[in-house]
Structure 1
Amino acid sequence: MSGFFYWNYSLNLEYYKILYPVKKIPLLISIFLLFLTFSFSGISGLKILILNRLNEYTSEKYPEKIYIHTDRPYYTAGENIWFDAYLVNGVSHKKSEKSKVIYVELINENNEVISERKLFTETISAEGDFKLPIDLPEGNYLLRAYTNYMRNQPRDYFFKKEIPVFAINSEILDNKNTALPENTELPDIGFYPEGGYLVDGLNNKVAVKIKGAALSATPVVGIIEDTEGNKITDFKTHEFGLGFFYLQPEPGKEYRAVISSGDENILYPLPIPLSEGYVMNASITEKEVVINVTTNKSEGLKNVLIVGQQRGIAAFDYTHEKISNTILLKIPKKDLIEGVLDIVLFNGTEKPVAERLLYIEKEEKLAISVKKTNGFNTYTRDRVNLEVEIKNKLGKLVPGTFSISVTDAELIKPNSNAENIKTYLLLNSDLRGKIKSPNYFFTPGDTIKKHQQLDLIMLTHGWSRFIWQEFLENSVRQEFKPEDGIYISGHTINAKSPFQNKFSETKLTFRKKGFYQETDNTNNIGYFSYGPFVFHDTIDVFLQAGSGLSTETPNYSDTNIKLVPQPQQPTIIPDRIINPFNQKQEITNVEAFIKKTRNNVFRDFEFDKEREQLAEVQIKGKAKTQEEIAEIKREKRTRAFAPSHRIVVDDMGQHGGGDFMELIMHVPGVRVGRKYGDENKTSQDFEINLRGLKPAFYLDNIKVTLPVARSISQANIDFIDVLNIGPASAAYGLEAQGVIAIYTKQGRGNKLRVTDRKLGSINFKLEGFYSTREFYAPDYSLVDRNRSREDKRTTLFWQPNIITHGFQNANVYFYTSDEKGRFQIDIEGITNDGIPFHNTSILEVE
């Protein structure tokens, strides 16, 4: 009878959701919840808190996502990486209304940023490129992209894509010996009970995962037994190293998996079952999501709450008010959107006790077609006109943005299972850990098997954009703000101790192709900010602060300017599995690819007489300590001559309000004191002698007076170099009486290059946004088609940021090269309504 009651309740719940689907009226959630609060008794305050938090998350504090489409999956040193960066609202996948600034970095295997791009966009995408140095070492490089606002979430959610790069002098493999070495290490296997835990007496599905396994992973066969050696069941892994089994633990027993390896049995302990708890099973039918919750607790499931959400959108909720040990719910798939569904069970004490992910697949909403419109046959050095059509299921044209690349399919074998914008936005970007070959689940063929494998992926991954307990208690952290341009900001500070912030007038002047000038007052604590500015080159900036700036007698003598440093690069998580470079074995036709791309690079040099390829240089090194790394960074800021004495302020533990004189007064040869013979002494009437001579003072490599040097507080100093006569003369030219060089924390890693600094003013060069180079391809309508220079391009065509407005198809054209054969047309993009799409087709050249 109780089973019938809950089945009937689930039908009523379905009907309720059809009438009032919460996810479809996010702007009315607060009013709706207020109505519920006064209309129904027993509705949990936890549910109201969760729905309000989710509403806040999706409407005000939504995350951002970035996806990067590159023209090719791998490169050779000396080539160009062309890319298009898509920036979207992480909930709706529409254009983000927050950030306009995108950072893209190229990172080597030592987790060092070797090149970076700062891009500006007012649309949904921003184009860019990287020129790979010709001497770039061979290896797996990482393309990382993020906005400043994305730093509010873990760095796991930055976009990351591995880019194999072959060296220009890469050795060609012997085709007879291309097999990968056998892996003799024991597999790292994890066991994942559905819902989170094994519970005594309750039957549960347990997923098996070989960590790091690829699509074509070698199967593993094993048995499950108790600690007394009694066999309970067996299992076998398949694609992606995934498998499963069912287990109903007996009270007081523990379990293990046994895998045979030759003559040895390898034991893997399973998670220890809980004596009391909850088990949540979930599955997907053609029309419904079926959720079954069981417990062995004496109080049963009274007052538990089940909540489903997708990308933060509240999908459904159910509060159970009866005493029972089982709940069965059915949720119509039509009320859900495509993507990851996160189902969480909260117990009667309002704690999350079980979680399950499902992937909701929907009918394809878009039809993408690519047609050649200028003749059926295509020849070498021939013009190709392409028409790209994007329609919805009603046959109407859809507005959107996309990028297109055309590459040599014989050299760069298409990988139909590789990640694309659809698999990233709908799947990988919402999971903990990365799924390899994700498009395998979206390609036709053996749908039953693929659905089962995808469900095992969901069982072995977790939603981690927020941790539920932390999310409910603290909402979403918003420390880092969205950027909409370049700002020049800072504080005005009293130039004399104790260096307090002070109100001041300020004046900003740009000196680039004329003058731009702006004035403003600071707030009461001396803070000022100019911007946002958008420019794509480096400009000279002159900033002044003081009093009476608009008069004929301005006063700068008692004011110092401290600029807010530009954002530092986020640290890099070494989350890649960096194996010895084995891409040569994994990439088809790698020998032909390396030969051709290398010849193309050399051919480019033949037509640029001012460039030469240097002889090979072999460099050997060893790992450095953190202190050695820090010292290298300091050396890069100096003039490359060893100082007579170096003071690292943090090492001394001093961060007071005093100035640098207190830090150097105990350095051998340095004497600090007041001037003699002056009856009108002031607090500035000090002098410093270095071995009896008057040294020069440099602040971040800019020569300054002693009062300016003294205006910097200890808390803002990174380190100080004292250079006696010899080192000073060598490093600073005419400074024959010694040098005291002060390096600030503000200047550490800052991209502002200061050219002059005085009390009340500072001159610096400010770098703007990156200006993307234009992809070059010959236009044979303008040049002789029979000219002698060979055309062996591997990327025939690349065009980012193609915009369709929904009333006509997009048209592009390009010319083929001297190569015949098959070329892949790869299109990735997103509609204005937030639907990602990916399409590939083949162009035959005769």
Structure 2
Amino acid sequence: MGGTLCAQNPLDSLVTRTIHTASKLPSELIYIQTSKDVFETGEDLWFKVYQMDARYLNLSGASQTLYLQVINEKDSIVWQEKYPVENGIVRGHVYLSKDLPHGDYFLEAYTSNSFYRDTTSLSGIRKIRVVGEISDNKITKPADSKKDFRFETYPEGGNLISGIPARLAFKATDRRGNPLDVSGTLYENGQPLTDFESRHDGMGVFVFTPLDNSDYEIRLTSGEVYDLPGIHPQGISLSLIQQNDEYVEFAVRQSPGIPHRNVYTLGTMRGIPYCGAKAVIKDSVIFKIPVKEFTARGIAEFTLFDENFRPVAERLVFVHSPKRLYITAEVDKKSYMVRNKVELKLKVTDEEGKPVSANLGVSVFDKAYAEANYPVNIETHSLLSSQIRGNIHNPYYYFNPKNEDRGEVLDLLLMTQGWRRYVQNDNEKDELKVLSDRLEGIQTIKNKKMRNTEQLIQVSGADENSTFVWAD
């Protein structure tokens, strides 16, 4: 267990069950770093793969073999290989032949311990672009028609409950998942109730009190009309009141007429229980969780359980633990001539300014070869992109200190893309897929034997005498 329980005894069974459930989730997290984002045919794509413990985010040696493959835009495997893992790290390079078709590709890396049971979700994915020359790096996006428009709503905590004030988050995208700005009005029984508009990347939120005997619909200014999710006549809700550097505060409300009962909340992060509390509720109760209970940084899942220890609501919150690393880089001068030697000094300290040993990486390349619009790095991947499903548009926005609203819009992201509604299912079978962790055989190409003249990509590991240090 990773933290301290506020009320330990009544929560023992919840903690045990949570740990048991977490043991069935992927135990490793994969991050792929490449020497740059855009590559020209006829050059090498250097990579470094970090194999991390999915809970504590330190290097993991649990798996001995890493599987790496290249996927084209048609979702077909064009190349794949297996690598031995050494102390949680894999290094190598891929030669991009002059004959390789131009376009976007995905590097996908996984181990026997890094994917979900349905095998459709991989944590280690890196998008790259291959061009003939860097001057060809132009993106043309066809316009989406109205029929490709998607608008979805997400009640905070999971459900709308009659008579209980609710925050309803929403998200609008095109069929490719790109955000679209929207505005509209919520109507109750044919009368306008409240106006709303998206705040960031097609996401927004508004507040109202739903009633189960009323009819609701959302009318967007662009003309589309949507019904609201079903409204429950009775129930219990979980909502975030406020969050600061010291506390995360929640309100739990239940419908009138429900007898007094015990409720429990449990705070976990990446499958590790950190804190919990018990309360007796009549109409409402406040849970105030000290942030210091979390010794790690990332997305915390706060789950509300009823008196029978059944999960009834959930809320995700990003917890900013004071414990973190600070990295500074210094060069010996401000400008250099071509082929000048560059001396680079890297320094890593903790929150108290004390030096910390670290496995570092640095990528150095012309900015023309960077994906400048939506950069990704090991921080955005480990703390955000790999933790909630689906594609996140510009994840770095939520970590860039220049964006003063990053905390508020990150909460919007967690209310929409991180949303879940609990449906009790006691008959779920625990079936685990098995992937061999033995390194055998050589390079294979799916459903095709390739002659030397047809081979588009070649691969080799880094020379043992070479040193490569990269990080985004």
Fold in common (TM above 0.5): yes
Following the alignment from structure 1 to structure 2, what is the Cα–Cα distance between the partners of residues 350 and 292?
18
SS in 1 for 2:303: strand
Superposed, 1:359-758 pairs within 5 Å as 359-363=318-322, 365-373=324-332, 377-409=335-367, 411-413=368-370, 415=372, 417-447=374-404, 449-462=405-418, 478-480=432-434, 483=437, 485-486=438-439, 633=447
Matched-pair contact (CA < 8 Å) for 1:62–1:91? no
Picking from 174, 185, 200, the partner of 1:223 is: 185
Q: Secondary structure at the match of 1:424?
A: helix
| Cα 1:107/1:799, change in 2 over 3 Å | farther
Secondary structure, aligned partner of 1:402: coil
The equivalences for 1:192-231 within 5 A come to: 192-211=154-173, 217-226=179-188, 228-231=189-192
CA distance in 1, matches of 2:317, 2:278: 21
Q: Distance in 2 between matches of 1:137 and 1:217?
A: 29
More helix by proportion, 1 or 2? 1
Which AA in structure 2 matches 1:440?
Y
- CA distance in structure 1 between the partners assigned to 2:174 and 2:345 by the alignment: 41
Give the SS at the match of 1:98. coil
Specify whether residues 370 and 475 from structure 1 end up closer, same or farther in structure 2 by C-alpha distance, changes over 3 A only.
Answer: farther
Aligned in 2, Cα 1:393/1:323: closer, same or farther, shift over 3 Å? closer
Q: Deviations over 1:612-645 (max 9, x none)?
A: xxxxxxxxxxxxxxxxxxxx95xx68xxxxxxxx
SS across alignment from 1:406? coil
* 1:202 Cα deviation after fit: 0.8
Higher relative contact order (CA 8 A, sep 6+): 2
State the SS of the aligned residue for 1:456: helix
The structural deviation recorded for 1:50 is 2.5
Q: What are the Cα deviations for residues 291-347 of structure 1, in whole angstroms up to 9, with x where unaligned?
A: 101111532461322211111111222233x35021101001111121001111222
Task: Confirm or deny: 8 A CA contact 2:182 2:221 kept in the other structure.
Answer: no
> In structure 2, what is the Cα distance between the partners aligned to 1:344 and 1:245?
22
Instruction: Give the Cα–Cα distance (whole angstroms) in 1 for the partners of residues 24 and 218 of structure 2.
Output: 47
Separation in 2, partners of 1:61, 1:319: 27
| CA shift for structure 1 position 249 | 1.0
Q: CA deviation at 1:240?
A: 1.3
Q: Distance in 2 between matches of 1:108 and 1:300?
A: 58
**Counterpart for residue 3 of structure 2:** 24
Does the C-alpha gap of structure 1 residues 180 and 388 become closer, same or farther in structure 2, counting only changes over 3 Å? same
How far did residue 64 of structure 1 move? 0.7
Conserved? CA contact 2:210–2:231, under 8 Å: yes
Residues 1:245 and 2:210 are matched in the alignment: no
Structure 1 residue 193: deviation in Å? Answer: 0.6
Instruction: State whether residues 92 and 461 of structure 2, in contact with CA within 8 Å, keep that contact through their aligned partners in structure 1.
Output: yes
Q: Which amino acid aligns with 1:356?
A: R
Query: 1:256 and 2:200 equivalent?
Result: no
> Which position in structure 1 is the counterpart of 2:126?
161
- Partners of 1:473 and 1:387 lie apart in 2 by 56
Moved more, 450-459 or 376-385: 376-385
The Cα of 1:134 is off from its aligned counterpart by: 1.6
* Offset, 1:60: 9.2
Give the C-alpha shift of residue 213 in structure 1: 9.2
Tell me whether 122-131 or 239-248 shows the greater mean CA deviation: 122-131
Aligned length: 459
Bigger Rg, which one? 1
Decide which of 315, 326, 334 is 2:284's aligned counterpart: 326
How far apart, CA to CA, are the structure 2 residues paired with 1:329 and 1:100? 44
Structure 1 counterpart SS, 2:16: helix
CA displacement 1:195-243 (0-9 Å, x = unmatched): 01111111110111113599995531111102x3200101111321111
d(CA) in 1 for partners of 2:244, 2:362:
37
Tell me which amino acid in the other structure corresponds to 1:480.
V
TM-score normalised by structure 2 residue count? 0.86
Query: Relative to 1, partners in 2 of residues 1:180 and 1:152: Cα closer, same or farther, differing over 3 Å?
Result: closer
Match of 1:104 among 68, 71, 74: 68
CA RMSD of aligned residues (A): 3.6
Whole-Å separation in 2 of the counterparts to 1:140 and 1:133: 15
Structure 1 CA distance for aligned equivalents of residues 314 and 341 of structure 2:
55
Summarize the Cα distance change of 1:185–1:403 in structure 2 as closer, same or farther, 3 Å threshold. same
Name the residue aligned to 1:284: 243
Decide whether the 8 Å contact of 1:255 with 1:272 is kept in 2: no
Which of 75, 86, 95 matches 1:131? Answer: 95
- Cα deviation for residue 266 of structure 1 reads 1.6
8 Å contact from structure 2 (residues 156, 168) kept in 1: yes
Report the secondary structure of 1:455's partner residue: helix
Percent identity reads: 25
Q: Distance in 2 between matches of 1:210 and 1:368?
A: 37
CA–CA separation in structure 2 for the residues paired with 1:120 and 1:141 = 23
Q: CA deviation at 1:103?
A: 0.7
Alignment partner, residue 315 of structure 1: 274
Counterpart Cα distance in 1 of 2:293 and 2:133: 54
